Every structure is written in structure tokens, then in C-alpha cells.
Structure 1
């Protein structure tokens, strides 16, 4: 498949099925571009109505071709595509791109046609891009298998590979890149992704040593495992992967038995998983290009300290605010650096961080250069931004200063030039210096550099995965698992759980209270009632016989009143666990990414607070620590208002152990909720368990 995909993006011969001599038509535009842009391979137009087309031999049929093509472009009505794919396969064609629409995007009949077409292509081992796509461009080799408007003008090759699921929006992004002078080595539209998808094609083009950055636009994720393979390969190659995905707010909460299930919306999971594997997410097309531009041009910083040099104090404060929002530090300079800056700057400048160089540098060009280089000498600063505005009368001087500054700097340095003259932007781009025209955009680009640097260090320092014994797990029936059984399964997996027993009568509940020898909680036990507190099904801190008996009757009465049709198995009796911090911990099987583990601020308000972090299972303790670091309630773990700090390492051990068990249970565990998990001096302990089984015939592969 990889070899065939390489033939797709870098073919030595291209057949155009349904080629037109009229360059204005969709079926004529690929031929126009291939001829005009200077494609050096063989071009074989196929159309039974012509014997010659723009100086090329035109073939009457696929069978008449002189050889099997590396790539076939199919530009025919949908009803003619299936027979064409079969004929191309019989001829030995290596790969195919289908422009035609009228397939899966049109409903059930179109989906059936699409499935037949893919089956035919796979029968012959012929990867298919599309259908319903614009095709692609390999600007390095002048391969223009596309009818996109983007190809009508110059398409400069460059270090960025851009793959998009949207044709129209992808073309707009490519056009924006061209306006910025950014070269796209590859521009690929995946269309319906009936066969090969986004990750397959990006995995192919990132192997090109001329590509430094992978950038993509997504509207959805069908194959989460493929996306993770892509992210891992990008990490191996040291090439950043930057993605924009729409639908951030549209997923919403889904009805589910557990809190985890209701909060594991599609976008929340996507965002967490790609971050886990070192992918950088951009909010929109402009930010995507900002980040790609910086990542393609700058070395990686070795920390998150940002140094800011400006000619405006206000701009410096604004950028410092944004830096804090995106997780960058703006550290004060050391005493030694401050002294050097004071010696350099005019009396009305500011020798801190941000540094206010003032407009004095226009008369003294070395002032800007030396101030920036001095700031970057600070050991706590790892990336710099130079901010200036207008200066139309000083373009040549400033271009020279900035070029020399960036050349001499031993750390990445970005230029933010607000309302920059076009000539300045063009000249700086020519020497490989990106220009950002707004302060926050420059800070976001710097943050992308920092994130990729951090991801690379984590990847290089990752410990080998420890081998874990393969256990024989029970096959459970679909539905909610009884609490006692669920707790037993988790304890066997090394998850700390509070003991629990099922009472089927008042006397039995009293006997269990005596056995535990301390205050207990009573909870309704019914697989039909998963949110027990909502119906008055939980009573806490009962520690005498009368309270146990009254509580038992009260819980059963509440269940009968609120859920009259529910089958009740009895009442759970559980000794009270201690802990001054409440967490919620859970697992949800995601259709794209497999088993997802959640941790967050627990208790009855968990879905109101929504202070949670997600990761894909399995993972190690270091990843669990990063999950805890993302929570707003993290300060509670370190002790507040006289409460002692808790042992984060024990929580991380619980999360990592749960993630390994969840991965083992992927083919049958639908969701799990441990809420609350109480954390105290003795570590975490789960005190309530909702476990739902639903067998999956095709779990996500690892």
C-alpha cells in the first residue's frame, strides 16, 4: 500500500480518463495544469472521441494504453466510475484519484455505489483517493492531478505538506498560504475518503525529506488509530503536525449511564488525544498558517520562557497577557541581563521583560539588535518576539537589523511587525524570517514552537513500555454490572476500591454494619438506577441499628417512588471511606480512539464543573501526571486552607493501572464511572462504581 501511495503522489505516468480538450472543464483542467506547469512524466489522455489532444496521443480506451499508469485520474459521471475502476485494475494501474461526485455524500444509494467502487479498487490493490475530491498537487515534481482554482496561479513548492478534508475551504487555506509566500510542497484534498484517508496520505508525504511541517484541516475523524500512527511517525521524524478541526462546540453531551460518558464529547476527546501524542491544534485557518510558518522557519526552543522586545509598552503587556493564557512564562530578566539592558537603553526605555526599546532604535539601529540579543542571553528565556509597527521610511534599515538579529540569535526569534510594508514582509520572507502582523498571533506561534519542543523531548525521553502479564478476563453479559462484581473486577486489576456488600433485608444490612464495625453508607442497588443520589438512593454516615433499619426502608421507598419499574437487587452497605479531595475517574469507549480515561473534580456537581482531563489508554504515570496538571482543581491536591497535600503519585498509579485494565477490556467495556474517588493521607479509594458492558466486535487496534 505504501509503495502504491507513493506512486499516487509521485507518479511517473498519468492517465486521464474522460479527458477533455476544453481546459475550462473539470475534465480538461488536469491536462491544462500538467502541460503548463511542466510535468515531466508521461501523460495519457483517454477519450474515444479524439486521437490527439494538445499535442499528445489520445487513447480510445484504458486497454489501449501503452503501459499500466502509475496514476489514473477519473473525471466521469458517477454511474460510469465502477466499470472504469475495474478496467483500470485489470490494466494494472497502481493508484487512482476520483473527482466524480454523486457517491456517499448523496445518501444510501450513493453509499452503496461507493462501497462497490472501493471493493473493486481493493480487489486490484489500487489505492483510491476520493471520490468527490479536488485531487492533489505535488509541487516538487509538478504533479497536478487536480481541477482546483489554486493551481491556476503559481504554486511554489515549499516545506509544508497540507492535507484537507474540505475542497473549497482547503483551497482557500492554500490561497492564503500563497499570499504569505508559504510554499506548499503538497496540497491534497481527500474528499469522501472512501478508501485512503487523511492519515494515509499524510503518512506518505511526510516521508519526503523536503517536508518540514505537516498541516491539516479536518471535519471529522473516522479512523482514530490511523491518526495516532501518523502522530507517532511525525514524532519519530521530528516533524510537527498541526491540525485545525471544526466542530469544537457542536458535539455536546451524550446521554450515558456514567458522568464520563456524558462528558466525553467528540471534540473533548479529540483535543486530549492529539495533545497526548504531540499534535498541535490550531483554532482556525490563520492560526494554522501562523503556526506552520513558525515551525517551518525556526529552531525549537528548550523551554517555555518568552522574551518580548517592543517599541510600545502597551503591546508588550498585551503579549505578556496572551503568553500566560497559552501556558508560556514571561520571566523577569536576571540582574546581570537587566544591568546590560540598562546600559544599552535610553533613560526612558524599560529594561525588564517586556523590554521597551522605544523608537530610539531608528536613529541607532544597533540598539534594537543588541537589546534583543541581550534579552535572549537570559537563561530563563527560550524564545523571543520583536514587536514594531509601520516604519515605512525605514524598510531597508529594519530588514537589515532584523535579519542580522535573527542570524546572530542562538534561540528562535519571531518578528511581529504591525501594518508592515509589503516590501518588508517580502524581503524578510526571502531570507526565511516569518512576519506576524498582530501581537497575539506571534505569541500563539511561539507557543506552537514551545509545544512541539516539549513533545519532542517527551518522545525522546519516553521510557520503554513495561511488559504486563496477559490476564484471562471474564466475559461479561451486556448491561450494567452489579456493583459488588464491578468492585471485585477493579480490585483484581489493582485499583483501590472501598469494600462493599449487598444486603437483601434489614437484618442483613444490620449484620453487615456490625461486621464492618464503623459508620456505613447505604446505597440502592439496581442496574436500572445508575445515578443513585438523584433519586434519594444514598444515605451516609449511619452508625446505629435504628438508623440502618430506617435508612434501608427509606432507600427502597425512594426507589419505588422514582423508578417504579426498576428491578431492585437490594441495598449496598459500605464502610465510610475518608478523604478530603473528591475526584471522578472513569473510562469511555470512543468510536474513533478506543478506550478513553477521564479524571476530574468529583462529587455530585461533576457535570456542572466539567473540570476534567482525558487520555487514550493505555498510558504511563508520567502522562497521568500531565492529566492532573490540566485540572483547575489541581491546587486542592497540594493542600489549601489547612488541608494536607495528597500524594499525586498514588493518583497517577491508579490512573495508569486503570488505563491498562481499560485497554484489556476494550472489546467489552462501554463505560465506567468511579465517583467519587476519595483522596486522603492513605491515597485514593473508589467508593462508587458504575460499569457498563457492551461488546464491540471490532475494537480499535493498538
Structure 2
């Protein structure tokens, strides 16, 4: 639901808050928000609702919502069961702008809870009231003290306002993410948990939070995506402001199950569709909250890497080796330093030190604590250093760690590029963090973060692509599965390269088609009731004489009779020699729309699972960049004397198919094009078999 962001202001910056079920005990769910707001300087009006008390935590208490002297902008519903429903309805009826429903027992419990939740939400929407939850831990804005959450974590880990926003469906994950960030020394302004998302979603709150000028990094934890629109808008806003939007997407849905009848489309699973959506919208995906916190630290404490080249400096040769291995594993480069840089380093480092990348300044650092200060500015001036990584496997007594940190910070300011540190010792890490430098415990973690943030910068730089509105002919069937002939005909009319073929009613027509096409042909029975023909012997290949064609038609007719299905004719198609077989498929996802798959084709398509997934719109270059990462993709250039294949034609076919799917509109469910025969370079790529499923 696209709702103006102004309607969410009452959630993030309310002028007045009522707490239904308020408690005098700050350790109770109904007492914790009041305690937090008093402690963190909330300046709005607080109205505890508790019929048993005259005051709650020093605030005047009220017997009911109806007794309040004004309509609050926000209500916290901290009562359970039917009371929560009645209180939410009462808030909506009196004109409250928004409510946070903490109570559980709704959609997370099953069908009955879903019915209760949906009915309550409908009534609230009809009255113009927004709902966070139910089953929500609440929201927290440390910028203005509006802490409407009961999270214990804010007592365990001291809050500090800062430039990070955390938005999560899970209350537990929001608390964990907050704790991990604070452990790394980062201040957190927003910590919001949406619970069941009956109404307000993480994506909607992200849109609103990104209007906060103090926010510089936004972190999301998502368990489901019901509507891609708000998330796409949040990503666009983040990109416009230069704010990294980093997300953990947990779990898998059954959204792709409807594609089961189209095997190629089914391979574009829901999770890979999420990956494609994130890539399209420059949302950086983290695997877990720990990785998310590491990415956030690098994004907050340095510029985004401008490239994939890393220069490594360490006082340990072993760490140099490990860091180099980690860089390569993360897709980064360890370039050679310029000769001038190496000569200058040689003037300052011991004769047994290594002056090329990685730079090993050796254990001489213990006797000369100034070596980092001498070496880092020299390296910072080298154009090859997109990122500088300082790896300190051990330091302690005898090492001036504070000086190391100051020298590193000075070099970071000089180079205006990322400088990161690997240090597992807490005291060493703390010294560098105090200077505003991102610190990682392991080389792998550091290199993965650098690679991820370099990807994000590339994604931001990618110019937006839009396809002009297209139109496709009427889909081949109203509902269900098409025949191969219907699918190939529709694709041909939509501009997709398909094999030259004829549709014939009997053996005489099949023979005539063979003569017209000239050369060997494939003869296949056409029946929408038997989509996978080869499994039933309904495909004859390489036929090049009249007797063989007639025999194939007769044999296939007998198979159809045995199966109890009728034939819609026979498809006679020219045989197409090729170097490789690919599959290209489309699955129309209920959230993301058409999702396109390109990968290894033929009869082993499901077992190979060698596929790339893209979300329209995309161009041929994007297809090629994805395809070359596949196992089969590496063969397109030609291996061991093989001729190179026409990869450009394959990419063109994928783009044409995607455009046809987008233009087809809501009636399309899936398209399965397998195989696509990719010929030698310059000779094209041709779809020789296809199925289309319509809703």
C-alpha cells in the first residue's frame, strides 16, 4: 500500500503517546516504554492508561482512552488477547493516528489469528489509523526520545544516538543488530521492529527513516516481501542520498511453487528472485546480522571502495599471505605497486622487508614503532590502492598501538579512500576504532566487506535502464499450458529468434514441410496435454527421408492413443547444429513480476542447476556478465581449440524474451524455452522448443 510518508511521522516523531496497559514496573512490557522515554528525553506528552492507578512512573494515569484530555497521535497497545483488539478499535474510533500493537496471538498462530488480525487491520485502515504489528516489539527513535519499544537490549547495551537505522520484522533480530552495532562502537538512532506487518512494513518505515538527515546507513532484516514497490522506492531514495541500504533476507517462500509445471521457470527460485531484485535496486545483501554489522562499520567509517584493488601492509609475512588469499577469494585484486612507491618504501623499511604488495614491514615494527607512520603515507599515494588494509596479527607491550592508529587515520584522511584494519585483539581494535577506522577480526571478513561495498558503489554508478512500453500479441492460451507450436509461434511474433518450423495436420503435410525446409528435420507431436514429449517418445530427430517421417508420425500417433490424448498436429522443424545448449525461462513472481533465468539447457537442466537470474529491465551486457559466471558460461569463449560461441546472440534472445514477458501482461505465468541452441560466433542462437503457461 503506497501511503504518504507524512502518515508515518506519528510513529517516528509523535507529539503525544498513550500507553494502554501502562505499568508502574519498568521491567513490564507496559512499563518499559515509559521508563525509556523518561530516561532518553522524550519531550512529548505521555498518557499512561491504567484504571487501577492514579500515577504510573511519575506520570498521571488515566482510566481509559475516553478520559484523555486530547486524542494522542500514537498509542501503544500493551494488553493481550481480546483486550488488544478492543483497545485498537477504540484508538481507531477516536482518531488516533497510529498504533503499535505489542500483543501476540494473531497471524503467527494460524488461520483463526489471521482472521482476527485482518479484520482489526481493515477497521483501522477504514478509520485512517496505521498499525505497527501486531506481535511487535515496538519502535525506538533515540534522536527524539520516542522509545515505544520494550526491548531489554537497551538496558543491556547503553544506547547512543548515531547515524545508523535498524529496521526489522523480527524484534529479536532488531535487538541483536542494535547490540552488534553498539559493540563495534557505532551509534544507532532508529531501532524499529514491525512484527506481523498487518499494515506498516519494514520497507515503508525505511522510506520514512531515510528522510532523517542524520541517517547515513540503513540496515534491514526481512523475513518476507509482500510488496516490492515500497522497498524499491526506499532503495531509490537511499541511492539518491548516497546511503548504503544493507539487508538480511531470511527464509524462503512458496512463491515459486506455481512454476512447477514449467521446469525452467521453477529454477528461478524465490530466493534467487530476491537476489535479482536486490541487485537491480542496489540493495547490498548480507548473509546474517554479524556480516550486516561488519558491512555497516566499513560503510560508516570510510568512503566506499572505488575499485577492487587492495594493498596489504602487515608486520607478519604469514598475515600477508592469508590476506592475499582472502582478497582473491573475495574477488579482489592485489596489484603490484609502482616502482617509485617501492623505491620510496625501501628508503624507510629494513633491508629484509618486502616493498611490493603485500608489504611486509616485518617484526622490526617492535623496535621501530614509527614504521607504519613512515610506510602508510607512501602507499596511500600509490594509484593502485583503491583500499589499504593494515593487518596486525599481534601487538601489545612494546608496541605503540595508539601511534599506529593515529598514523593510520592520518593516511586515511590523506588518501580519501578506504583504510581498514584486521586485528583480533580487543585492545588493538579499540584503539583503531577510536580513530574512526573500521576493524575486522579476520582477513576473510575484511576482504568480503571491501568486496561487498565495492559492488555497492558499482551498482550506484550503473545508469538506470528503462524499456519503452511494448505490446505482445494475445497469449497462445487463455489458461493452462500451450502446445510447443503455439509457444513457438507466439515467441516468433514477439521478436524472439525461434527455429524455422511448420505445423502439419498429418503425415502428408509433414512430408511436404520436410521438402520445403530442405535437409534433416525434427518431427514432434503437438499436444498441450503432454508438455514433455521426449519422455513419451513423441520426438523424432534428424529425419531426412519420406519413409522415416511417415514412420515417426505413425509411431507418435500410437503413443498419443495409448495416452488417451489427441494431437493438435505435428511440428516439423529444421535441425539446428550448435555448439552449446542453453535454457532461458521466465517465471512471473507474484511480488517481483517476470523473473528471467538463463543457464545450462537440455534434458539435464534441473539436475545441473547452473543458472543465472535477472530481473527486467536489463541489457545484453548484464546477461553476458551473469552468464560468464556459470560453469557452462565459461565454455562460450571456446576451450582447448573449440570455436567461440555466439554469446551475444544468446544475450539478445534473453533480452527479447524478457521484453515479451513484460509486455504480455498479467495473464502470463511462465515461459520455458529449452533448449536454446547457441551456434558459432556470428551464427546466432535459436529457440527450438518452448512452452508457455497462462494463468
Structure-to-structure mapping, 1:644-655, within 5 angstroms? 644-655=643-654
Q: Distance in 1 between matches of 2:321 and 2:529?
A: 55
Q: Distance in 2 between matches of 1:86 and 1:126?
A: 10
Q: Which deviates further from its counterpart, 364-373 or 29-38?
A: 364-373
Contact 1:253 / 1:264 at 8 angstroms: preserved in 2? no
Q: Distance in 1 between matches of 2:560 and 2:239?
A: 53
Contact 1:254 / 1:263 at 8 angstroms: preserved in 2? no
Q: Quote how far apart the aligned CAs of 1:392 are.
A: 1.7
Q: Quote how far apart the aligned CAs of 1:474 are.
A: 4.8
Please, what is the CA RMSD of the aligned residues? 2.3
Q: Distance in 1 between matches of 2:413 and 2:292?
A: 25
Matching residue of 1:679: 678
Q: Distance in 1 between matches of 2:508 and 2:477?
A: 31
1:146 alignment partner, SS class: coil
2:93 alignment partner, SS class: helix
Given the alignment of the two structures, is residue 236 of structure 1 paired with residue 235 of structure 2, yes or no?
no
Matching residue of 2:449: 445
Q: Distance in 1 between matches of 2:125 and 2:380?
A: 55
Matching residue of 1:414: 420
Q: Quote how far apart the aligned CAs of 1:192 are.
A: 0.3
Matching residue of 1:547: 548
Matching residue of 1:699: none
Q: Which deviates further from its counterpart, 571-580 or 548-557?
A: 548-557
Given the alignment of the two structures, is residue 435 of structure 1 paired with residue 439 of structure 2, yes or no?
yes
Q: Distance in 2 between matches of 1:66 and 1:359?
A: 72
Contact 2:313 / 2:361 at 8 angstroms: preserved in 1? yes
Matching residue of 2:213: 209
Q: Quote how far apart the aligned CAs of 1:618 are.
A: 3.1
Given the alignment of the two structures, is residue 247 of structure 1 paired with residue 248 of structure 2, yes or no?
no
Q: Distance in 1 between matches of 2:474 and 2:555?
A: 37
Q: Distance in 2 between matches of 1:331 and 1:399?
A: 25
Q: Quote how far apart the aligned CAs of 1:533 are.
A: 2.6
Matching residue of 2:339: 335
Match of 1:80 among 80, 83, 92: 83
Q: Distance in 1 between matches of 2:222 and 2:438?
A: 25
With structure 1 as the length reference, what TM-score do the two structures score?
A: 0.93
CA deviations 1:422-453 (Å, max 9, x no partner) are: xx433432332121111111111111220111
Q: Distance in 2 between matches of 1:667 and 1:631?
A: 31
Match of 1:404 among 394, 402, 410: 410
1:370/1:655 Cα in 2 relative to 1: closer, same or farther (>3 Å)? farther
1:666/1:335 Cα in 2 relative to 1: closer, same or farther (>3 Å)? farther
Q: Which deviates further from its counterpart, 527-536 or 283-292?
A: 527-536
Q: Which deviates further from its counterpart, 426-435 or 121-130?
A: 426-435
Matching residue of 1:131: 134
Contact 2:473 / 2:490 at 8 angstroms: preserved in 1? no
1:351 alignment partner, SS class: coil
Q: Distance in 2 between matches of 1:18 and 1:572?
A: 72
1:68/1:388 Cα in 2 relative to 1: closer, same or farther (>3 Å)? same
Matching residue of 2:103: 100
2:304 alignment partner, SS class: coil
Q: Quote how far apart the aligned CAs of 1:556 are.
A: 4.0
Q: Quote how far apart the aligned CAs of 1:560 are.
A: 5.6
Q: Distance in 2 between matches of 1:101 and 1:468?
A: 45
Q: Quote how far apart the aligned CAs of 1:77 are.
A: 1.6
Q: Quote how far apart the aligned CAs of 1:103 are.
A: 0.8
Matching residue of 2:273: 269
Matching residue of 2:151: 148
2:461 alignment partner, SS class: helix
Q: Quote how far apart the aligned CAs of 1:256 are.
A: 1.5
Q: Aligned pairs, how many? A: 687
Matching residue of 2:461: 457
CA deviations 1:34-83 (Å, max 9, x no partner) are: 11222111111112222322322212222222222221111112212333
Q: Which deviates further from its counterpart, 572-581 or 513-522?
A: 572-581
CA deviations 1:248-298 (Å, max 9, x no partner) are: 799998871223233122212212221222111111221110001111111
Q: Distance in 2 between matches of 1:30 and 1:420?
A: 33
1:407 alignment partner, SS class: helix
Q: Quote how far apart the aligned CAs of 1:400 are.
A: 2.5
Q: Quote how far apart the aligned CAs of 1:207 are.
A: 1.7
Matching residue of 2:189: 185
2:444 alignment partner, SS class: helix
Matching residue of 2:506: 505
Given the alignment of the two structures, is residue 121 of structure 1 paired with residue 121 of structure 2, yes or no?
no
CA deviations 1:183-236 (Å, max 9, x no partner) are: 221111110001011111111112211111111122222223332232222222
Q: Distance in 1 between matches of 2:373 and 2:551?
A: 80
Contact 1:85 / 1:120 at 8 angstroms: preserved in 2? no
Q: Quote how far apart the aligned CAs of 1:610 are.
A: 1.4
2:528 alignment partner, SS class: coil
Contact 2:311 / 2:357 at 8 angstroms: preserved in 1? yes
Contact 2:265 / 2:587 at 8 angstroms: preserved in 1? yes
Match of 2:59 among 56, 61, 80: 56
Contact 1:254 / 1:265 at 8 angstroms: preserved in 2? no
Q: Which deviates further from its counterpart, 287-296 or 52-61?
A: 52-61
Contact 1:594 / 1:666 at 8 angstroms: preserved in 2? no
Matching residue of 1:596: 595
Q: Quote how far apart the aligned CAs of 1:158 are.
A: 1.4
1:350 alignment partner, SS class: coil
Q: Distance in 2 between matches of 1:589 and 1:474?
A: 14
2:153 alignment partner, SS class: helix
Point out where structure 2 has 5 or more consecutive residues left out of the alignment. none
Q: Which deviates further from its counterpart, 81-90 or 672-681?
A: 81-90
Q: Quote how far apart the aligned CAs of 1:606 are.
A: 1.8
1:639 alignment partner, SS class: coil
1:260/1:372 Cα in 2 relative to 1: closer, same or farther (>3 Å)? farther
Point out where structure 1 has 5 or more consecutive residues left out of the alignment. 695-702
2:231 alignment partner, SS class: helix
Contact 2:255 / 2:589 at 8 angstroms: preserved in 1? no
1:331 alignment partner, SS class: coil
Q: Distance in 2 between matches of 1:69 and 1:647?
A: 66
Q: Distance in 2 between matches of 1:571 and 1:331?
A: 60
Q: Quote how far apart the aligned CAs of 1:470 are.
A: 4.5
CA deviations 1:625-682 (Å, max 9, x no partner) are: 3333432333322233333334444333322222222112241111111111112232
Matching residue of 1:667: 666
With structure 2 as the length reference, what TM-score do the two structures score?
A: 0.94
Contact 1:96 / 1:129 at 8 angstroms: preserved in 2? yes
1:502/1:22 Cα in 2 relative to 1: closer, same or farther (>3 Å)? same
Structure-to-structure mapping, 1:364-379, within 5 angstroms? 364-379=368-383
Q: Quote how far apart the aligned CAs of 1:494 are.
A: 1.3
Match of 2:45 among 32, 42, 47: 42
Contact 2:482 / 2:528 at 8 angstroms: preserved in 1? yes
Structure-to-structure mapping, 1:631-650, within 5 angstroms? 631-650=630-649
Q: Which deviates further from its counterpart, 251-260 or 661-670?
A: 251-260
Q: Distance in 2 between matches of 1:148 and 1:229?
A: 29
2:173 alignment partner, SS class: helix
Structure-to-structure mapping, 1:209-228, within 5 angstroms? 209-228=213-232
Matching residue of 2:292: 288
1:148/1:462 Cα in 2 relative to 1: closer, same or farther (>3 Å)? same
Q: Distance in 1 between matches of 2:660 and 2:385?
A: 42
Q: Which deviates further from its counterpart, 55-64 or 157-166?
A: 55-64
Matching residue of 2:572: 573
1:577/1:473 Cα in 2 relative to 1: closer, same or farther (>3 Å)? same
Q: Distance in 2 between matches of 1:611 and 1:618?
A: 22
